[in-house]
Amino acid sequence: MPIFRRGERKPEPPPMQPDPGRRGTGTGSGPVPAGPGAVPPPAATPAAANPPGPPVARFPITQGTLQCRDRGCPNHNGVLCHYVDRRGRRCDTAWCPNHWATVGGIVYCRRHAGTIAAIGYFEHPSGMPDVDNRAPSLVNWVARDLDAFVAATLVQTAEAGETFVREPAVTTHVERNAVRRYERAWKLVDHTGVRLAVAVYVDGEEEVSIHVRVGSAVVAEGVPPWIERRRRGLEVSAEVDRSQRALFYGFLQKHILAAVRSTRERDSRLSRP
């Protein structure tokens, strides 16, 4: 131990140098003194910005200045239909509040409101059908009118262990030639799978011809009379329209009933020991 004489000052200790691997302070309450070779602490990293959230849905305008497309309507407060198809094309028709249709608070023309209602409100995985394609809406319309009859027919012919199932929306099927088929179906199922199915469908290329399938066989097809009139530009009275619709649905029901009974009888024979 060194010896100091009275009156001599004790030499000052050298400044403390921080450990380069530490970012904290010294043992005291103040910062660690820095020496000649000290490494400055790294600068504070700013807090990461919050990631952007989902886009905010904006309510579309419902008061426009366009001529309503409905025949004979004098209104000029129409807005464009908000339908956009899988190719990014938009419906260019405008409709006033008296003649538009809405789904989920969004304004559409009646045809495309039917399309949205048919295949579901949210965006379809394969994209919305082409803007000029009436097939999904037509399938949904005809299936709605046939629903009670087909459901009753299948339930009455159901066997022990079978359950009736109704598809809630139009489904899209892509054929080998890349043509889309829009379909709604009713089924009898059991623990082994589907025992019998009745389906109404329209091929995407035809768009106007209804096909009815029972099991794997197409049993009836045809263009609905109201579609045929529209194609020809014909107008009829409400009474004639009701009569033509009744004839069309009676034709489909007759062939559905006959095919279901025939299929059930055949299955029953095959199941006998």
* 71 confidence band (pLDDT: 50, 70, 90): confident
Q: Which of 121-125, 144-148, 205-209 has the highest mean pLDDT?
A: 144-148
**Cβ-Cβ contacts under 8 Å for 191 (sequence gap 6 or more):** 161
- Distance, C-alpha 222 to centroid of its chain: 28
Percent of the chain as helix, strand, coil, to the nearest 5: 25, 20, 50
- For residues 6-31, average pLDDT: 53
> Residue 34: is its pLDDT beyond 60?
no
| DSSP 3-state of 149 | helix
Residues 175-230 pLDDT 10s: 777 788 899 999 999 999 999 999 999 987 777 899 999 999 999 999 999 999 98
Residues near 217 by beta carbon (within 8 Å), at least 6 away in sequence: 259
The mean per-residue pLDDT over the stretch 226-250 comes to 93
Spatial distance between the Cα atoms of 178 and 128, rounded to a whole number of angstroms: 15
**Containing H/E element for 231?**
helix 225-232
Rounded mean pLDDT, 118-136: 73
| Residues 6+ positions from 186 with CB-CB distance below 8 Å | 147, 150, 151, 154, 164, 165, 166, 167, 197, 198, 199
Specify which residues 181 forms β-bridges with.
Answer: 173, 203
Instruction: Write the CA distances from 270 to 215, 262, 263, 265, integer angstroms.
Output: 16, 12, 11, 9
H helix and E strand count, the chain:
4, 10
